[in-house]
Structures are given as structure tokens and as C-alpha cells.
């Protein structure tokens, strides 16, 4: 039941977003606003909902892999700007980990909560694996990944426009590094080149965070 409801709701939300063309009319946000009250009213738990949508969750991995195609079309730019791309993604990954973890601890969260917050800005497959590795709660991480992605998709481009940042490379890196697949979907709609760079950023940031998260997490705890 919930699989069909999710697919129909997203299709309707997508049509609304196409017609209204407003930053707040994000298909995922609209779907959440529709499905969440329905789930609460039905009395089903999120675990039951997730179990019925397992096929959608499974497709996250293949979708990330499919992003390799637009990257292939931008190989010339990647070869030319690979140093900038690598440095930008490394800085974005480290700063996101440090700021998120320190904020969680400063607000009174324990080590488990901090570990759950740490991978919030990378794609779900990377984030869940990282959270488990450092002792976080995957369910909390999944929710935070969704929130981070939505914020990037909703406010990323208005902020970049306000700051007068026009470079497709800079815009793509910014969106992909901080709002992963949800932001990348928005980037692809906005500009094909920005979408390709964003998909590259989300993969690189995911790998960097997954590799260095245990070291950074324990380093933060040591000094805090």
C-alpha cells in the first residue's frame, strides 16, 4: 500500500513543482507534507513504511552509480580542474563533519547523537554506513540526510544567486558537497553541467567522509 501511495504522491508533487516553479515547491518536500500526516493517521510506524518501500531504498545505490554518465560528458572539465575539485570537496567534507559534530555536542547531545549527526551531508548509502561504523543511529542519520538535502535543494540556488556566484563549477560543487543526491537532482534540473559536477562532488565527499569519519570523530571527542 505505502509503495503505491509513495509513487502516486511523488508523481503528483512533481507535477505541482513543474507548474508552479517555486523554490519551496520541491517534490520531496510536498511528498513529505502529504505522506507524513497519512502515516500518522494510519497508525503504521516508519519501520512498516520503510519495509514496504524497500525497493525504492534499494534503488539509491544504482541511482548514484548512474550519475557516472553525466560525469563522462564533463571529463575535459574534470581533467582541467581536478585540483580545485579535490580541494573543495575535502574542505567541504571536513568542515561539515567538524561543524555538525561540534554543534551536536554543544547543544547537549551525547556521543551517539554526535555520531549520528556527523555524516548528515553525504548521500544516504554513504551516510548510513558511516553512522554504523562510528556508533551512530542510522535512523537519525537518515532523517538528517533528508533535512540537509532539502535545505540545499530549497535554499542553495537562491543563496548562490544572491551571492552572484555564476560559475557552473562552483555552483555544482557547492550543491553536491552539502546537499548530496537531493541537491544534485535540483542541479540537474537547473543546468546539465552543474548537475554533473554536483554528482561528482557528492561521490567524492561521500568517500572522503566515509574514510576519515572515524579518525575525525575520535579526534573531536578527544579535544572536547
CB 178 within 8 A of CB 96: yes
- Which pLDDT score, from 0 to 100, does residue 64 have? 66
* Residue 83 CA from chain centroid, whole number: 23
- Which pLDDT score, from 0 to 100, does residue 20 have? 82
- Which pLDDT score, from 0 to 100, does residue 129 have? 87
- Which pLDDT score, from 0 to 100, does residue 74 have? 83
Closest to 218 measured CA to CA, from 100, 125, 101: 101
Interhelix angle 168-190/75-106, nearest 10 degrees: 90
Q: What is the pLDDT tens value at each position of the chain, 224 positions in all?
A: 888 889 899 899 888 888 887 777 788 888 888 998 988 888 888 778 878 888 887 777 677 677 677 777 788 888 899 999 999 999 999 999 999 999 999 999 899 999 999 999 888 888 888 999 999 998 899 889 988 988 888 899 999 999 999 999 999 999 999 888 888 888 888 888 898 899 889 889 999 999 998 898 988 888 87
CB 165 within 8 A of CB 174: yes
DSSP character for 122? S
189 Cβ contact partners less than 8 Å away, ≥ 6 residues apart: 195
Closest to 118 measured CA to CA, from 135, 131, 132: 131
- Which pLDDT score, from 0 to 100, does residue 105 have? 93
Amino acid at each position: 500500500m505505502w509503495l503505491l501511495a509513495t509513487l502516486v504522491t511523488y508523481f503528483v508533487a512533481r507535477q505541482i513543482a513543474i507548474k508552479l516553479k517555486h523554490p519551496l515547491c520541491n517534490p520531496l518536500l510536498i511528498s513529505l507534507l502529504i505522506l507524513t500526516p497519512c502515516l500518522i493517521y494510519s497508525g503504521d510506524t516508519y519501520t512498516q513504511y520503510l519495509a514496504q518501500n524497500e525497493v525504492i531504498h534499494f534503488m539509491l545505490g544504482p541511482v548514484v552509480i548512474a550519475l557516472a554518465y553525466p560525469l563522462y560528458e564533463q571529463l575535459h572539465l574534470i581533467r582541467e580542474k581536478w585540483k580545485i575539485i579535490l580541494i573543495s570537496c575535502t574542505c567541504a567534507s571536513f568542515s561539515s563533519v567538524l561543524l555538525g559534530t561540534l554543534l551536536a555536542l554543544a547543544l547537549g547531545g551525547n556521543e551517539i547523537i554526535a555520531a549520528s549527526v556527523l555524516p548528515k551531508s553525504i548521500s544516504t548509502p554513504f551516510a548510513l554506513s558511516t553512522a554504523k561504523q562510528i556508533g551512530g543511529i542510522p535512523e537519525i542519520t537518515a532523517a538528517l540526510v533528508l533535512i540537509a538535502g532539502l535545505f540545499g535543494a530549497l535554499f542553495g540556488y537562491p543563496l548562490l544567486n544572491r551571492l552572484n556566484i555564476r560559475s557552473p563549477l562552483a555552483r555544482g560543487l557547492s550543491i553536491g558537497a552539502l546537499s548530496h543526491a537531493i541537491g544534485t537532482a535540483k542541479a540537474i534540473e537547473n543546468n546539465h553541467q552543474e548537475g554533473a559536477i554536483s554528482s561528482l562532488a557528492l561521490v567524492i565527499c561521500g568517500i572522503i567522509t566515509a574514510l576519515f569519519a572515524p579518525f575525525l570523530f575520535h579526534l573531536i571527542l578527544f579535544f572536547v
